[in-house]
Amino acid sequence: MINKVRPHITQNEDLLFERSSPGKVGYQLPALDVPLVDAAAALGAVNVRSEIEGFPEVSEVEIIRHFTRLSTWNYAIDLGLYPLGSCTMKYNPRVNELVARLDGLAWAHPYQPEALAQGAMEVMARLEAALAEITGMDAVTLQPAAGAHGELTGILLIRALLEKRGDPRKKVLIPDSAHGTNPATAAIAGYAVENIRSNDRGMVDLEALERVVDKDVAALMVTNPNTLGVFEANIKSIAEVLHKKGALLYMDGANMNALVGIARPGDFGVDVMHLNLHKTFSTPHGGGGPGGGPVAVKKILEPFLPLPRLKHVRNKWTFDYKRPRSIGRVRAFYGNFGVTVRALAYILAHGGNGLRNATVDAVLNANYLRKKLEPYYDLPYNAPNMHEVVFSDDRQAKLGVRTGDIAKRLIDYGFHPYTVSFPMIVRGALMIEPTETEGKRELDLFAEAMISIAKEIETDPEMVRTAPHNSRTSRVDEVAAARRPVVRWKPPRAGSKAAD
């Protein structure tokens, strides 16, 4: 029984280029108060383009309808739960949108005189301090634009420290349960990647680690809780093993939603970590970004942080560029300030207690779903889970239905799918993270949907395998898209029937 959704008429809509017609305008500029300049004379005739071929010409009404109609084809947090593991799809507070748009902040140019940017610098400093407190670390940089960017920054910091000590070393250890950005990042930083297997509890195998850590190992990149939602109970010992051999511990902070207010990575041996502001700290995903990937470090790594650093001198904020050991910049300017504002607003709204409550609720919600779904889906690892839980599709696979199919059928029930087939150490993973945003009602609807699907698989597996059936767009042909990629619209050739 599908309880969360009912069919609804949605508008069709063409591409902008297909609605375009010469002479339509959607803008009006003020009249020029200076003389017009002849472009060919000013720029050189050879530098002037004749027109932007194919660029759309549409009216304002067409624009608002175009984007509004398209928006109705999307699922969103504002519509309901996203059970995506490791994504922490929590509510995006609207007050954040308002404050980020305040003129003084939104129009601030990164090169405007410091005296006229004190408010912005104060906001950055405040977030740095709050994140340092939350993570138990000594210093924070807001420069990285997203998690992966933060990871790169973190590994570059490690490299810089080890170089200063005389040997950058050769490899980075990464658990086989890690997010794909981890090995990709290590490779860019010039390290070889060595996979370390998880034990039968899904955690880093401490003995295996001890055997493998030698003078060639620069760091271990760990996610805690790991991608199974399980807390690495041995984390302090893991840190000790690494530190004894002069290696460092990097923590991927994607799962901080399980730890804020409960445990601090700085307290359990982490040397450097990144945070995902667009996960734990509520900044909106916006269809794929922007994010914010601040990096928090222990004192030993502080001299290497990207420059500039914020400094408080004689009661004023200033940017300090005298950082001879800095790894340099990882991007122009200072970071995703607009995302910084939103994250700080979230922290101010919650305060220490509120943040802790959010964590507790997140863990409660995940455990509630685990209990509801355990009778129907295989749980490959029996350890206590925190803010997310990972099932496997083993039981359903026997009937020919895989996690990807179940995910698609979930769409018919009015939900966005959970994270499919990740982590890779679980066969046919279903990774579920409800976050603290969800109340019992939405969770129950989700559990009911998952249970109903499990039952459908027993009686009509083919129907589940070919889902979704009720969505506006049915299963898309990803194979054709990859075999013959068409990544842009092209105008139809004269005489041909349709656009390519």
- The footprint of another protein on residues 363-422 (CB under 8 A) is 363-365, 367-368, 371-372, 384, 386, 407-408, 411, 416-417, 421-422
Q: Footprint of another protein on residues 198-257 (CB under 8 A)?
A: 231, 233, 235-236
CA distance 71 to 30: 31
Could you tell me which of 105, 128, 5, 101 has the C-alpha nearest to residue 468? 5
Identified binder of another protein from the candidate list 2, 3, 11, 72, rule CB under 8 A: 72
Nearer to another protein, 63 or 300 (CB): 63
Identified binder of another protein from the candidate list 332, 398, 459, 493, rule CB under 8 A: 332
Nearer to another protein, 157 or 247 (CB): 157
DSSP reduced 3-state for 29: coil
Strand ranges across the sheet with 248-252: 139-141, 295-297, 272-274, 248-252, 217-223, 171-175, 192-196
Q: Footprint of another protein on residues 265-304 (CB under 8 A)?
A: 267-268, 276, 278, 284-292
CB of 300 to another protein, least distance (A): 20
C-alpha angle 433-436-442 in degrees, rounded to nearest 5: 75
Identified binder of another protein from the candidate list 173, 196, 247, 341, rule CB under 8 A: 341
Identified binder of another protein from the candidate list 218, 339, 445, 457, rule CB under 8 A: 339
Identified binder of another protein from the candidate list 4, 122, 379, 448, rule CB under 8 A: 122
Q: Does 51 bind another protein (CB under 8 A)?
A: yes
Identified binder of another protein from the candidate list 3, 15, 164, 312, rule CB under 8 A: 15
Could you tell me which of 110, 89, 431 has the C-alpha nearest to residue 276? 89
CB of 20 to another protein, least distance (A): 8
Q: Does 88 bind another protein (CB under 8 A)?
A: no
Identified binder of another protein from the candidate list 139, 145, 247, 272, rule CB under 8 A: 145
CA distance 303 to 46: 49
Identified binder of another protein from the candidate list 4, 17, 397, 461, rule CB under 8 A: 17
Identified binder of another protein from the candidate list 2, 211, 333, 399, rule CB under 8 A: 333
Task: Select the span of 178-186, 207-215, 243-251, 451-459 touching another protein (CB under 8 A).
Answer: 178-186
Identified binder of another protein from the candidate list 1, 6, 7, 34, rule CB under 8 A: 34
Cα–Cα distances (Å) from 107 to 34, 116, 117, 145, 365, in that order, read 24, 12, 11, 19, 40
Nearer to another protein, 30 or 495 (CB): 30
Which one-letter amino acid corresponds to residue 193? V
Residue 91, φ and ψ in degrees, nearest 5: -60, 140
**Residues paired with residue 431 on neighbouring β-strands, in sequence order:** 390, 419
CA distance 2 to 446: 10
Nearer to another protein, 458 or 487 (CB): 487
**Residues paired with residue 248 on neighbouring β-strands, in sequence order:** 219
Identified binder of another protein from the candidate list 2, 3, 11, 60, rule CB under 8 A: 60
Could you tell me which of 500, 378, 375 has the C-alpha nearest to residue 430? 378
Residue 191, φ and ψ in degrees, nearest 5: -105, 150
Could you tell me which of 415, 354, 361, 363 has the C-alpha nearest to residue 387? 363
Q: Does 78 bind another protein (CB under 8 A)?
A: yes
Nearer to another protein, 39 or 399 (CB): 39
Q: Does 347 bind another protein (CB under 8 A)?
A: yes
- DSSP conformational letter for 378: B
CB of 47 to another protein, least distance (A): 5
Contact assessment for residue 123 and residue 102, using Cβ atoms and an 8 Å cutoff: no
Identified binder of another protein from the candidate list 1, 9, 52, 494, rule CB under 8 A: 52
Q: Does 169 bind another protein (CB under 8 A)?
A: no
C-alpha angle 422-262-233 in degrees, rounded to nearest 5: 55
CA distance 26 to 410: 40
Q: Does 475 bind another protein (CB under 8 A)?
A: yes
Identified binder of another protein from the candidate list 81, 87, 140, 295, rule CB under 8 A: 87
Q: Does 489 bind another protein (CB under 8 A)?
A: yes
Q: How many CB atoms lie under 10 A from the CB of residue 19?
A: 17
